[in-house]
Amino acid sequence: MEQFEKYEATCEEELAAIRDSLQILGGKWKLRIMRYLNNHVNETNTFKKIQRGVECISAKMLSKELQELEINLLVTRTVMNTRPVTVNYAMTEYGLSVFPVADSLVNWGLNHRQKIK
C-alpha cells in the first residue's frame, strides 16, 4: 500500500517521457514531414517543396512544425546564400531515431485495425 504511492510517482516520470515522445510523434504533421525529408534525403528540401510534398499542410503549420523539429534537434535548417534566399531542411542523424519508434506504432496500429474490424 506504500508501494501504491511509489508506483504512482514512477508512473508520472514515465508519463512525462511519453508526453515528450507524443509531442513529436503525436501531432498531425511532424512525422509526415520527417518521413518526407527522409525519403528525399539526397535532394534540396525547401519550404515550398516540403509544403507541396506534405499534402494540404498550410504555411503556418509547416513553419511552426519545422521550428519545433529544429528545436528538438531532429531537423536542421540551412539558409543558402542565393537570391532570393532558399532554405534547406534535412533530418539529423539523431532525428532518424524516431523512425523505429514510429514503426512500432505502425505495427500495433495495423494489427489493431484487424482486431477491431
Partner DNA sequence: CGGTATCCATGTTGATACTG
Partner DNA sequence: CAGTATCAACATGGATACCG
| Binding residues vs DNA (CB under 7 A) | 27-29, 46-49, 56-61, 63-64, 66-67, 77, 84-87
Instruction: Indicate which of DNA, a second copy, none lies near residue 96 (CB less than 5 to 8 Å, by partner kind).
Output: none
Distance (Å, whole) CA 57 – CA 71: 20
Instruction: Indicate which of a second copy, DNA, none lies near residue 60 (CB less than 5 to 8 Å, by partner kind).
Output: DNA
What are the b/e assignments for 2-41, b being 16+ CB within 10 Å? eeeeeeeeeeeeeeeeeeeeeebeeeebbbbbbbbbeeee
Minimum separation from the CB atom of position 59 to DNA (A): 4
Residues of this chain, 55-74, that bind a second copy according to CB under 8 A? 55, 72-73
Element (H, E) at 117: none
Task: Check binding of 33 to a second copy (CB under 8 A).
Answer: no
